[in-house]
Structure 1
Amino acid sequence: MTTIRVLLSLVAINNWFLHQLDVNTAFLHGDLNETDYMKIPHGLHTTNPSPVCKLNKSIYGLKQASRQWHEKLTKVLLSYGFNKSHYDHSLLTKTKHSNFTAILIYVDDLVLIGNDFSEIQLTKQLLDTKFNIKDLGNLKFFLGLEIARSSKGIALYQRKYVLDLLSETGMFTAKPCSTPMDYNIKLHSSSGSPFPDPAPYRRLLGKLLYLTNSRPDISYAVSHLSQFNSCPTDQHHQAANRILRYIKSSPALGLFFLSQNTTILKGFSDSDWAACLDTIKSVTGWCFFLGSSLISWKSKKQTTMSKSSAEAKYIALGMASCEAQWLLYLFHDLHIPHPNPISLYCDNNSALHIAANPVFHECTKHIEIDCHIVRERVQNDTLHLLLIPSSSQLADLLTKPLSPMPFHSNISKLGMLNFHLQACGGVVEHQIC
């Protein structure tokens, strides 16, 4: 999903073409590398007492069908001059002189991107000859994500997904609320009484987890409630319903990738020390921007306990630095130059000192070795660490529940817009081809 957001942002900046394709009966195109047999279909009569059918090609229902289809499609694209990304195996790119074409694959759904329309048409014809594809035109709806484009940029949101979720859960007429979590309540594993049937809670959290692909504002709440999946309580269920009440207030809230933007990466890293009441572990939150467009974020509980807030912040920097390095690798595959170090902002001076100080000392000897990749990447100019005040920390809403005023202030700074409000200024009003 991060690759999708990166590509949408680059399409908006460079005014590239953005098309969508669908492959008809995709799994039937896969080649089998081993001998497989199946029971004969109903209605087919034979005199053989134990009849079976030998499969010459892949078929729906075969456990390796998706893998074989992906392998067949990749081989065909490689033969057409595409190169497979080493850092996202669903991405293939082709560069010829000044022409650039990219294909992003999700099973049988393909997103085709490029700056040369004739090359895009040629790619469509080649794929149609080989697989019989359906040309869906400009990308508007992909994997539950709604994409709207105008001269001002590209909007990414999940309004239909939200409305269907509210209707399915019976929360369509519920009273909206201003934040996804109550900042006055601290939930833990024994909060409330056990929920009689955990299955609906788990299904709801799974659906909300997919919604976080365009809604970083609910990432912390969904991540926090997901740790109670094994044994949810009535209070956990009420907290999940509060998320539904929150998204009801703005079902069309989403991300906007500006066309007037830069390709400079910057990130924000934060943590909430010992936030988990059950394990006393800290929560990490980070987000990355391409220019002013949000393209990547994460809210996750740390795997180890930290002895201080500085250590928790430093571990969060380590996780953010891995994402920064991966984004640089992805930029390399997309032929997007990024000569300057990525600016990574942190609101803890002690964590910055640990990253800058190469001398071993007592207060850092217990920190895991892999966390010191921050120090290494600062030294090789991959990262440039900067101090910011806590009031300007945009990753704050990914680490803890906030009160309404700072919460909505952070949302606006993340570049999120409610695309069905007139106050948006018509950013998706006029569709362009």
Structure 2
Amino acid sequence: MGKVDKTLFTLRDGIDFLLIQIYVDDIIFGGSSHHLVAKFSETMSREFEMSMMGELTYFLGLQIKQTEEGIFMHQTKYSKDLLKKFDMVDCKSIATPISTTATLGPDEDGEAVDQREYRSMIGSLLYLTASRPDIHFAVCLCARFQASPRTSHRQAVKRILRYIKSTLEYGLWYSRSSILSIRAFSDSDFAGCKIDRKSTSGSCHFLGTSLVSWSSRKQSSVAQSTAKAEYVAASSACSQALWMISTLRDYGLSFSSVPLLCDNTSAINIAKNHVQHSRTKHIEIRYHFLRDNVEKGTIVLEFVESERQLADILTKPLDRSRFEFLRAELGVIHLYGLS
């Protein structure tokens, strides 16, 4: 049994291994040896009443396409059902999920819309973000207005659905040839929320070239400068990286000195330089564990040019060319664009 993930079980037989992942009454398993896989299948069928579905192609709404080069995960069927559910099958498609000029706010003078329908749309879209990090920022932004949705908010959600129509068969590509190493990106949109001026943190984590974790979240406190907002975002990315390191130990993989890429030199200096401490007293103590892990060498903060900051797509609206570039860098591609 895994020490971090109690639903993960591993078995090693010499150089061969078997991995078993359990979710309620569903089981995914695979290994490096056909003999181990067949033996486990026979044992489970003998001990429990269960049906074998064969090679993994569909799991919890996720469609899986396995090839010699890697694995493609998408939710095309779910996306089509989503458009049908909200009567958007015949809508006009669009290239980006959110406009660069979008300034969503409370819109108290706007016309109120059906709260139940709006929440249903948000909930459905949040599930789609399991394979679509390209819509994560836009969906989370619209989710902030579920308490009192207005026409402008619903229009923003409908734009996301229009974007989904144009990218129905997009999903995440996991290459078999990817070298196993962890790297993380963190970014922040300083004071991006028009309501309370709080910043939005964005982070994405890669195992080799494959995106395995991403986040877009409004910070809990108001940052007084770009450096502070970036420092808080980096702390959140550090926390996720540490969890990944612990989790991957259950798979027999060990990592150290994980690079965390940030495009703000001031935030990097705060984490590395103790002299900067007097300038950060107003930052909550819980964020300073980033500095501790930098000192230990577990996390290595590195500078990355803003043009190569992949987490940018999770913090703010982007124009079409920038959005499509970052989407491809995250590994979100078309089903028939596999190489």
Question: With structure 1 as the length reference, what TM-score do the two structures score?
Answer: 0.76
1:126 Cα offset (Å): 2.1
TM alignment of 1:227-306, pairs within 5 A:
227-306=144-223
Q: Cα distance, 1:92 vs. partner?
A: 1.9
Residue 105 of structure 1 is aligned with which of 22, 25, 37? Answer: 22
Question: 1:192, CA displacement in angstroms?
Answer: 5.4
For residue 103 of structure 1, give the secondary structure of its aligned residue in structure 2. strand
| Matched residue, 1:161 | 78
Look up the match of 1:362. 278
Cα 1:236–1:192 shift into 2, 3 Å = farther
Q: Does the 8 Å CA contact 1:154/1:256 hold for their aligned counterparts?
A: yes
Amino acid corresponding to residue 20 of structure 2 in structure 1: I
Equivalent residue number for residue 391 of structure 1: 307
CA distance in 1, matches of 2:285, 2:254: 30
Contact 2:93-2:162 at 8 Å conserved across structures = yes
Q: Distance in 2 between matches of 1:361 and 1:103?
A: 46
Structure 1 residue matching 2:21: 3-state secondary structure: strand
Maintained 8 Å contact 2:235/2:290: yes
Distance 1:360 1:394, change over 3 A: closer
Structure 1 counterpart SS, 2:51: strand
2:333 counterpart residue number = 417
For residue 281 of structure 1, what is the amino acid of its counterpart? K
Would you say the 8 A contact 2:270–2:276 is kept in 1? Answer: no
Q: How many residues align?
A: 339
Instruction: Report the aligned-residue RMSD.
Output: 1.3
Contact kept in structure 1, 2:270 and 2:277, CA below 8 Å: no
Q: Which runs of 5+ in 1 are unaligned?
A: 1-82, 428-433
Give the conservation status (yes or no) of the 8 Å contact 1:192–1:235: no
Structure 2 letter corresponding to 1:362: S
Counterpart CA distance in 1 for 2:145 and 2:112 is 11
SS across alignment from 1:304: coil
Equivalent AA in structure 2 for residue 252 of structure 1: E
* Partner secondary structure for residue 105 of structure 2: coil
- 2:105 pairs, out of 180, 188, 202, with 188
Sort the Cα spacing of 1:192 and 1:119 in 2 relative to 1 into closer, same or farther, 3 A. Answer: farther
Deviations 1:191-245 (A, max 9, x none): 6524242101101100100000100000000111111111110110000000000
Equivalent residue of 1:245, what SS? helix
Q: In the alignment, is residue 312 of structure 1 matched against residue 229 of structure 2? A: yes
Structure 2: gaps spanning 5 or more residues: none
CA deviations on 1:99-144 (whole Å, 9 max, x unpaired) are 2112111111111021122222222222222221111111000111
Amino acid at match of 1:370: R
Matches of 2:109 and 2:139, distance apart in 1 = 18
1:295 partner amino acid? V
Q: CA deviation at 1:287?
A: 0.3
Secondary structure of 1:104's match? strand
Equivalent in the alignment of 1:348: 264
Does the aligned pair in 1 maintain the 2:183–2:258 contact within 8 Å?
Answer: yes
Code of the aligned partner of 2:28: V
| TM-fit CA distance, 1:95 | 2.3
Q: Which residue, 151, 155, 170 being the options, matches 2:87?
A: 170
Q: CA deviation at 1:403?
A: 1.0
Cα drift, residue 252 of structure 1: 0.8
Residue in 2 that maps onto 1:376: 292
Q: Specify the alignment match of 1:91 in structure 2.
A: 8
Deviation at 1:360, TM superposition (A): 5.6
- Identify the match of residue 118 of structure 2 among 186, 191, 201: 201
Give the counterpart of 2:244 among 298, 323, 327. Answer: 327
**Alpha-carbon distance between aligned partners in 1 of 2:220 and 2:150, rounded to the nearest angstrom:** 24
- Post-superposition offset of 1:96: 3.0
The code of the aligned residue for 1:374 comes to L
- Cα-to-partner distance string for 1:363-401 (whole Å, 9 max, x where unaligned): 111111111111111111111111111111100010011
Q: Any idea what the Cα deviations from partners look like across 1:63-87, whole Å, max 9, x if unmatched?
A: xxxxxxxxxxxxxxxxxxxx2x232
Q: Secondary structure at the match of 1:125?
A: helix
Q: Which is worse superposed, 346-355 or 188-197?
A: 188-197
In 1, Cα distance between equivalents of 2:153 and 2:96: 16
The 1-side partners of 2:48 and 2:234 are apart by 45
Asked if the contact 2:188/2:233 (under 8 Å) is kept, the reply is yes
Q: Hey, what's the Cα distance between the residues in 1 that align with 2:9 and 2:288?
A: 33
Letter paired with 1:356: K
Please say which structure displays the higher CA radius of gyration.
1
**What's the TM-score, normalizing by structure 2?**
0.97
